[in-house]
A and B are shown apart, each in its own frame.
Chain A
């Protein structure tokens, strides 16, 4: 399985500001995924990021609000822009790894917007 780290692990931000979350994987992977887990809720996919191409966003998520970079096969960033309290969530990155392409998750970034 892949080992995934995220930075920061948590942050408290003021409304109107932006936060960039980093995701680092210990092996090269083709696809990386960004999910959001709102308080007490399940996980919702924000976008899929392939190296060398634009990220693919799910319905309800737009690039201006959640720009994603994928500069190489082991790293990605998600920016939460112009934050509001509704953006308070845990943001998780994940990758496919293993013989059956199981999906493994990073530890998450807990974001609180005040």
Chain B
């Protein structure tokens, strides 16, 4: 079956530091890949997505590239802010409109 593995947190950073959250996946086909973010006390929001190999998703300064050869979709941001403190989830979907399989989530805490 499908699975998503992401680095465990918490990840604690200082403001303006570089953030990387590793995500690798196992799937039988060619899934779509997503990053979702859950800010404290809020619901789950779609942060970015990529639907095929070598696609780069980007939003709010975050980027992730769909690497089929390494089955990875690592999330990066060059300069984090305190407001980026949240839990980040990597997820995959085998087909458009299909159910999501989530990774375990990574809590990120950015200190001023």
Specify whether A and B are partners: yes
Closest to A6 in B: B43
Say whether A100 contacts B89, CB under 8 Å: no
Partner of B96, one of A41, A94, A101, A106: A101
Interface residues in chain B, defined as those with a beta carbon under 8 Å from any beta carbon in chain A: 32, 34, 36, 42-46, 49, 51, 89, 93, 96-97, 99-105
What total of A-B pairs shows CB separation below 8 Å? 50
Say whether A45 contacts B43, CB under 8 Å: no
Say whether A100 contacts B99, CB under 8 Å: no
Q: How large is the interface on A (under 10, 10 to 19, 20 to 34, 35 or more residues)?
A: 20 to 34
Say whether A48 contacts B43, CB under 8 Å: no
In Å, the complex CA distance between A100 and B48 comes to: 12
A104 cross-chain contacts in B, Cβ below 8 A: 46
Closest to B103 in A: A42
> A110 to chain B: closest CB distance in Å?
10
Say whether A100 contacts B44, CB under 8 Å: no
Closest to B44 in A: A105
B51 cross-chain contacts in A, Cβ below 8 A: 100
Say whether A33 contacts B96, CB under 8 Å: no
Q: List 17 A-B contacts (CB under 8 A).
A: A30-B97, A41-B105, A42-B89, A42-B103, A42-B104, A43-B102, A45-B99, A45-B101, A92-B44, A94-B100, A96-B96, A100-B51, A103-B34, A103-B93, A103-B100, A104-B46, A107-B42
